[in-house]
């Protein structure tokens, strides 16, 4: 869905706590909530019930809402509308036309759907983000809305600390992670190869980089017998099934 069709809605608990020193901005689904309305964050491997002094802003990915949400959670629900709002589109385009004289590439970036969605998210969260938080913690992916939130926060209060956590290995061409003006003040990484990549290739200052064991994945003893490992994304399903059939019939029995 094109970004101009997006609408953003905040869902708050009936009794939202008022005093928080930190924010976590993350993603979630209905399955991540328990019956009491507590949220399990898979990126940080923790329950919101154990971090009650933190305000959790959850970009909600499902259509159906959880029955309850606890007093330290706000859901940010993004919905793609089927009908394009022509008025909003024209207003947005006219507002950005002067930027074409600065640089055409800059103009194209500003009218992109990702940039528009970033503005909508900021508009929805502005009354929350202007409060005096000490720190905001993000499973950082270098997404436009994340960088826009950092820009907004730094313009309002340059003392707020922005912490980013890299929860997965970089892509083959990780241009989204190139160091720029509005980046986290510090980044936590899980591997020495990531440290090398961020410092030597993506131009991050060494003082911003921190190495810690993975929060998302735990080193448990896993019995590898009777297990089949497949890629994170499977596009050619028939090919996978064909190879499994060949392995079962020609190489090793895969029963059980």
pLDDT recorded at residue 1: 38
142: left (phi over 0), alpha (psi -120 to 50) or beta: left
- Which tokens in the block code for residue 52? 């009650």
pLDDT recorded at residue 8: 80
pLDDT tens column, 90-144: 776 777 777 677 766 656 666 566 677 777 888 888 888 888 889 999 999 988 8
Distance CA 11, CA 69 (A): 9
pLDDT tens column, 194-211: 999 999 999 999 999 999
Model-wide pTM > 0.85: no
Distance CA 198, CA 201 (A): 6
Neighbours of 163 (CB within 10 A): 17
Distance CA 139, CA 153 (A): 17
- Which tokens in the block code for residue 208? 């911003």
Low-confidence ranges of the chain (pLDDT < 50): 1-2
Strands (E), 81-206: 135-139, 161-165, 186-189
Helix (H) or strand (E) holding 243: helix 237-246
Strands (E), 160-213: 161-165, 186-189, 209-211
Task: Write phi, then psi, for 12 (nearest 5 degrees).
Answer: -115, 155
């Amino acid at each position: 869905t094109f970004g101009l069709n997006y609408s953003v809605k905040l869902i708050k608990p009936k009794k939202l706590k008022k005093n928080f020193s930190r924010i976590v901005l993350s993603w979630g689904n209905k399955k991540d909530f328990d019956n009491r309305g507590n949220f399990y964050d898979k990126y940080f491997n923790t329950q919101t019930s154990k971090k009650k002094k933190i305000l959790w802003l959850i970009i909600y990915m499902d259509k159906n809402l959880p029955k309850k949400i606890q007093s330290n959670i706000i859901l940010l629900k993004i919905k793609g509308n089927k009908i394009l709002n022509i008025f909003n589109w024209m207003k947005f385009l006219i507002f950005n036309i002067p930027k074409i004289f600065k640089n055409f590439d800059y103009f194209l970036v500003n009218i992109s759907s990702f940039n528009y969605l970033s503005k909508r998210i900021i508009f929805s969260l502005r009354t929350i983000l202007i409060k005096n938080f000490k720190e905001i913690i993000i499973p950082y992916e270098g997404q436009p809305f994340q960088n826009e939130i950092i820009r907004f926060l730094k313009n309002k209060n340059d003392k707020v600390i922005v912490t980013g956590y890299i929860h997965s290995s970089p892509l083959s061409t990780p241009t989204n992670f190139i160091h720029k003006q509005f980046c986290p003040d510090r980044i936590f990484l899980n591997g020495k190869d990531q440290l090398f990549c961020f410092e030597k290739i993506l131009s991050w200052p060494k003082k911003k980089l921190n190495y810690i064991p993975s929060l998302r994945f735990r080193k448990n003893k896993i019995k590898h017998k009777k297990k089949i490992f497949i890629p994170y994304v499977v596009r050619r399903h028939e090919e996978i099934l064909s190879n499994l059939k060949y392995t079962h019939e020609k190489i090793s029995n895969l029963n059980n």
